[in-house]
Chains A and B, each alone.
Chain A
């Protein structure tokens, strides 16, 4: 019989959401104390950000290539291939960049955060910190939370940049679209504050949500191998659902 408590009713689900909300308040309260561990926050930015670069950049390149190919094909039916660059940029800056980056971030960084904190829980490392009068929320959780918020917009920007390069490669280098048309239509249509920054705000919010879920799942995991595995899975599932739902809400407010 499993020792892991799995939420199996609506009541359990609501209780989990409430517990996660309280956990968020505890993290926010711990943020001022965590500033004395600034080095740890920088280390976590490197860990969740720099270490995610490869998957984000490769994914961005291919997403952009696919997007360029599909849009060029569809727009050519209406004689509007000149708008390919513009549509690619709109789609990436407003939606695909932040959302796909968040989903990849949940799979790459979220799972590692959950597994790391979960194993610290299972091996009494968090209790040992408490016994040494070191607050694990300030030393372990808050730096990861701040790192997620800082790293996600940067990763999303890189994702967008690589995706636009991928689309440019397909549309201009492969399919023969005019290079000047691709760039000039894009730059004349995209508004930095409305289009680019809305994606940046979104990705910061997604970074907060994904790291909140990842740290919560790790911190509250059952101290068993099955418990850590289950918590890691929940991080990906819940992060993905919440990211997509939050995306809809933020889009409605930012448009």
Chain B
């Protein structure tokens, strides 16, 4: 059964308890006057694949930025591998980041470097390895994402899906303790999608890497994730095993996983009266319902 909050109120953390690599408690964030998180609690288990899902604009990427120390919260604590990332110094934070692979939503490849040099970049910056070893590691990772033959191309010569795969190779090049995949499936054709799903699962099973997936594709997420957190309205609306959540036993999961416009998550951004904005006369009784249209 998914653990849920109907309103949503703060959920009871059902898993994973003491084995958590990441522990978030009472997270509160306000950006540009808008409350993004209002008391988020969650645990990411060590060695598992956890998916963070939710409607667009609910702060999934912002949550990842908190976890990696790119953004400090207004309140609450974020413990990653035993360290509160909002309170550690820059050196310690960089030390922690060396153990984290991050796949950016827009790939964020270094545009002046070739595919090979992009993947080799973390190795060259932190490890003094012989050139032959660097070459072998990079080619191994590029082979894993199916782009060994594109090693000498520049990022401007790649499609969006290929750029994501290069970014993925870069994220895993140092075999990190944890990998954060921010929208990893966008722009992938079915063949590439299947291979990337297998790669995520293989990395998790063979190296014990903790994985966090930020994604919208439920079908893909169900194939790899062990646990899903559903973010909505600044809180954890529900969490649990993928199959349990997909049954849609709460209003939040029902609406999100079936893609309905009606439900607790409004499809429309808050707006003034539609008819009035179009310059049409509106019956007084129709006005209050407009914001839900």
Contact = CB atoms under 8 A, between A and B. Distances in A.
Given A133-B126, A134-B125, A128 B110 contact: yes
B94 interface: yes
A128 B108 contact: yes
A134 B113 CA distance: 16
B190 to A, nearest CB: 27
A127 B97 contact: no
Contacts of A134: 121-122, 125
A134 B97 CA distance: 9
A134 B98 CA distance: 9
Nearest to A135: B94
Nearest to A139: B125
Interface stretch (B8-16, B37-45, B99-107, B206-214): B99-107
B127 to A, nearest CB: 12
B97 A131 contact: yes
17 contacts: A123-B106, A124-B105, A125-B109, A125-B110, A127-B70, A127-B104, A128-B104, A128-B108, A130-B70, A131-B97, A131-B104, A132-B97, A132-B121, A132-B122, A133-B125, A134-B122, A134-B125
B68 interface: yes
A123 B108 contact: yes
Top 10 closest pairs, chain A to chain B, by CB = A128-B108, A124-B108, A133-B94, A131-B102, A133-B97, A133-B98, A132-B122, A134-B125, A124-B104, A125-B108
Contact of A123 (B68, B102, B111, B170): B111
Contacts of B68: 131
Interface string A122-165: 01110110111111000000000000000000000000000000
A119 B121 CA distance: 19
Contacts of A124: 104-106, 108
A124 B102 CA distance: 12
Interface in B88-145: 94-95, 97-98, 100, 102, 104-106, 108-111, 121-122, 125-126
B111 A125 contact: yes
Contacts of B106: 123-124
A130 B104 contact: no
A125 B111 CA distance: 8
Nearest to A37: B125
A153 B154 CA distance: 35
A127 B170 CA distance: 14
A130 B104 CA distance: 12
Nearest to B124: A134
A127 B125 contact: no
A131 B111 contact: no
A123 B155 CA distance: 12
A97 B99 CA distance: 51
Nearest to B94: A133
